[in-house]
Structure 1
Amino acid sequence: MKILLTGATGLIGSALAYRLMQEGHDIIGLARHRSRSLRLKGWAIVDIASMREPADWLPYLAGIDAVVNCAGVLQDSPQECAEGVHSTGVATLFAACEQSGIRRVIHLSAIGVDRERPSTFSSTKYAGDRQLMTRDLEWVILRPSVVLGRSAFGASALIRSLASLPVVPLMPDTQPLQVVQLSDVLATISFFLKADAPSRLELELAGPDRLQMGDVVAQYRNWYGWGAAHKIIVPRPLSHVLYRLGDLVGALGWRPPMRTNAALEIARGAIGDPAPWMSVTGIRPQSLQEALAAEPAAIQDKWFARLYLLKAVIFPVLVAFWIGTGLISLTSGYASGVQLMRSTGAGALSGAAVIAGALADMAIGVGIAWRPLTRYGLYAALPLSSFYAVAATVLRPDLWTEPLGPLFKIIPILVLHLVALAILDER
């Protein structure tokens, strides 16, 4: 079959693309950005939220036999619109499928949205479900719980990183989870792409065990080969602050798993009844313990777990460093900066040089903070830091032997930027 796969760069979508290609299907991937590692036969670079009319979809549906919709966003941001992706955009996609004669549509929703909708995420997901159910299509709506697999992104990445801590902080008001394995989700989608598969079904994809978040983290910690960790519940006021910080970071274009919508969703839990799913497909969902036991943790798994939380420290530190040095140079440190420049023979240009350097530093800090420009900000920091080191070596070589080693400090700064570049990609 020739399949249009939306959300092709996501946790489920990217893994599904590989599986379906191995089964002999031709996959056209659709996402807001093309994956550099996912080698598909074709790509459609589209923001689903911008697809306001069925006619917008028709060029992408030519020759397509089936559509699998894996697109989703946790929360609104300058780059993402939950209502557009989950409801309005897919509604026009479903209408276009009906118009163009594409019968089979498999739609990934979220567990429990038909029962309770505490956030924009769940309410828009359910709105998209209802749009599909009104169409004369062979539709299947799959509502997975929290999906875990060898790959990790968002909540699954956060769970792994929490397992790396000797003291595990847990958010208050979290409800049980029936985590489901990525491999079981992929097998289910593959099942429903068969010509004789049933349709017009809503199924919950939930694992066999109800686990608290602390239990999930403990199983991953055991998988890593580390001993039991002490658990603490984060005070509720502090948890509110952390979620709001996540919202702020999201407004800058990043996609942190800890945001207000996440708080609302984990407060309702992610549990369901897997019996209908098992009955229809014959799939017996793996428990988390079985899945982890089947594939031992490798050293790169441990690296990822530790680096994921460090990433949340490294980038704010770099932003604060660059913006902070710029502000200091323009305020309390201005006179000292001018004096230092004059000692190099800059003369009347000393003040302008200090101001130019401060503005360059602040521009890099802003660039690193704003996710669409982060890579460019990091790259710009490397030559600017090198320029400072070379210029100071030529004009004031004595700064290498100053007691506080001001020029020696540039070396670890450069290395930290290289580390940031190495761990920048989210998936």
Structure 2
Amino acid sequence: MNILILGATGFIGSAIAARLLADGCTVTGLARNPDRARVRQPAVRWIRADLEKMTNVADWATVLEGQHVVVNSAGALQDGLSDNLAATQQRAMMALQQAAEPAGVTLIVQISARTDGAGSDLPFLATKRAADIALAASGLPYVILRPSLVLGRNAHGGTALLRALASFPFALPLIHADSPVETVAAEDVASAVSAAISGTLPPGSDIELAATERHTLTSLVKLHRAWLGLPDAPVISIPPALARPVSWLADLAGHLGWRSPLRSTAMTVMSEGVRMDRPARQGLPTLSAAETLADNPSGVQDLWFARLYLLKAPIIAGLSLFWLLSGFIPLLAPEQASAHFLPFVPVGAAMAMTIITCLIDIALGAAVLVRPFARRALAGMLIVSLAYLAGGTVLEPELWLDPLGPLVKVLPSLLLTLAALAILDER
């Protein structure tokens, strides 16, 4: 059977792909950037496509050719530079539904969410709800699966945030610490998709997936802390009002293309918790959170990831501030700044070189804040820093002995830039 998976490079989509390959299906993955996925999962046939640009029925003709089942595991939390929820979660899905029957698709499996409760009117849930309603009314065979908070060997979004919070030293700062949280294993979501494709789940099913236990955010974070091998720590409950500046900054980062789990949509949903209203369907596996973590023992790489996850934003912001200030401060006194060049070039050329280097610094400091440009900006920082070190060493070697260390201070900047490059990938 030929299966097309939307969002196949994602946390949930990759688990579904692995399960369906094990079931003997022929799997095609749709992703915006599938290059690394081809190396990770060579058994999957990969197609490069952007759901945001597939909002017309004709856009799906080639993609759906020969496919029997479509599994939609694509999604995003909030609108931003990298995501358009109305396009990807609603209009593209409606276009897919219209194109499915003429293409011979016999089933659509939609990975959705609980779309009522807190945040139900926000674009994240409103667009999912609109796509679910349209699918149910389309006349196509379908199964809608609504997982609670998904846990697994890997981590992304809310799961990654749990691990990061669990790794805090000395104390655990939590917002909505007593909110209820239900979980489901990524493998259980994949098993439910497999059951839908095999016919175990009848077409027209709309199922919430969650283990029978219910945690609070506090107990779930502490469970992850023990999984990471860290000793217990007290919880500091932070009032939601004090967290609003963090959400505001996370939303701003979202407009620049960064997908922070601390954005206002996540905070609104967590104010009520992640819980399901319907009883779990009998016959579907539902590992508890403890069982899920026990089946995937942590290693040192998990502890590193947890500790670095929340440091990523300060590292990028710190590098940006360093380069912006390096560019702006000399412009306050350009004559003084250009004095370093005067022994080697005329006054006009020295001033021009000063202004050019300042503009380069400012451009790099601004570009690193924009997610699509961040990798190139970090590479530029490395190149320019090495050029500054080489130039300074040749022209003014005595700067290495300067008490203020203008050249020595470039070295930790280089290391921080390399660290930022190392943790830049999101998937």
Fold conserved (TM > 0.5)?
A: yes
Return the letter of the residue paired with 1:120: P
Return the letter of the residue paired with 2:198: K
* Inter-partner Cα distance in structure 2 for 1:250 and 1:321: 22
Residue 298 of structure 2 corresponds to 297
Q: What are the residue-to-residue correspondences of 1:289-368 with 2, within 5 Å?
A: 289-331=290-332, 333-345=333-345, 347-368=347-368
Stretch moving more, 109-118 or 2-11: 109-118
Q: What are the residue-to-residue correspondences of 1:164-313 with 2, within 5 Å?
A: 164-166=167-169, 167-172=171-176, 175-195=179-199, 197-273=201-277, 275-277=279-281, 279=282, 282-313=283-314
Stretch moving more, 168-177 or 217-226: 168-177
Deviations 1:363-403 (A, max 9, x none): 11122111101110011111110110011111100001111
Residue 57 of structure 1 corresponds to 60
Identity %, equivalent residues:
39
- Structure 1 residue 46 displacement after superposition: 2.1
Q: What are the residue-to-residue correspondences of 1:22-41 with 2, within 5 Å?
A: 22-37=22-37, 38=40, 39-41=42-44
Computed over aligned residues only, the root mean square deviation of the Cα atoms, in angstroms, reads 1.8
Equivalent pairs, count: 423
Residue 79 of structure 1 corresponds to 82
* Inter-partner Cα distance in structure 2 for 1:276 and 1:79: 34
Tell me if structure 1 keeps the 8 A contact 2:67–2:104.
Answer: no
The alignment partner of 2:8 has SS state of coil
Return the letter of the residue paired with 1:315: I
* Inter-partner Cα distance in structure 2 for 1:325 and 1:22: 54
Residue 389 of structure 1 corresponds to 389
Task: Name structure 2 gaps, 5 residues minimum.
Answer: none
Task: Name structure 1 gaps, 5 residues minimum.
Answer: none
- Structure 1 residue 141 displacement after superposition: 0.2
Tell me if structure 2 keeps the 8 A contact 1:172–1:239.
Answer: no
Stretch moving more, 380-389 or 39-48: 39-48
- Structure 1 residue 306 displacement after superposition: 0.7
Residue 90 of structure 1 corresponds to 93
- Structure 1 residue 343 displacement after superposition: 4.4
* Inter-partner Cα distance in structure 1 for 2:289 and 2:199: 31
Tell me the TM-score normalised to structure 1 length.
0.94
- Structure 1 residue 49 displacement after superposition: 2.7
Tell me the TM-score normalised to structure 2 length.
0.94
Deviations 1:297-343 (A, max 9, x none): 11111111111112121111011111111111212x43331222224
Return the letter of the residue paired with 2:84: C
- Structure 1 residue 33 displacement after superposition: 2.0
Residue 11 of structure 1 corresponds to 11
Return the letter of the residue paired with 1:286: L
* Inter-partner Cα distance in structure 2 for 1:300 and 1:256: 21
Tell me if structure 2 keeps the 8 A contact 1:338–1:351.
Answer: yes
Deviations 1:23-73 (A, max 9, x none): 222211112222413435432222223222222211111100110000101
Tell me if structure 1 keeps the 8 A contact 2:57–2:96.
Answer: yes
- Structure 1 residue 173 displacement after superposition: 7.8
Residue 419 of structure 2 corresponds to 419
Residue 156 of structure 2 corresponds to 153
Return the letter of the residue paired with 2:401: T
Return the letter of the residue paired with 1:351: M
Deviations 1:69-123 (A, max 9, x none): 0010100112311121221110110111122221111000012448971422111
Residue 122 of structure 2 corresponds to 119
* Inter-partner Cα distance in structure 1 for 2:399 and 2:290: 57
Residue 398 of structure 1 corresponds to 398
* Inter-partner Cα distance in structure 1 for 2:89 and 2:357: 45
The alignment partner of 2:342 has SS state of helix
Return the letter of the residue paired with 1:139: Y
* Inter-partner Cα distance in structure 2 for 1:380 and 1:343: 28
The alignment partner of 1:369 has SS state of coil
* Inter-partner Cα distance in structure 2 for 1:344 and 1:170: 57
The alignment partner of 1:143 has SS state of strand
Stretch moving more, 344-353 or 293-302: 344-353
Stretch moving more, 350-359 or 164-173: 164-173
The alignment partner of 1:193 has SS state of helix
Return the letter of the residue paired with 1:182: A
- Structure 1 residue 146 displacement after superposition: 1.0
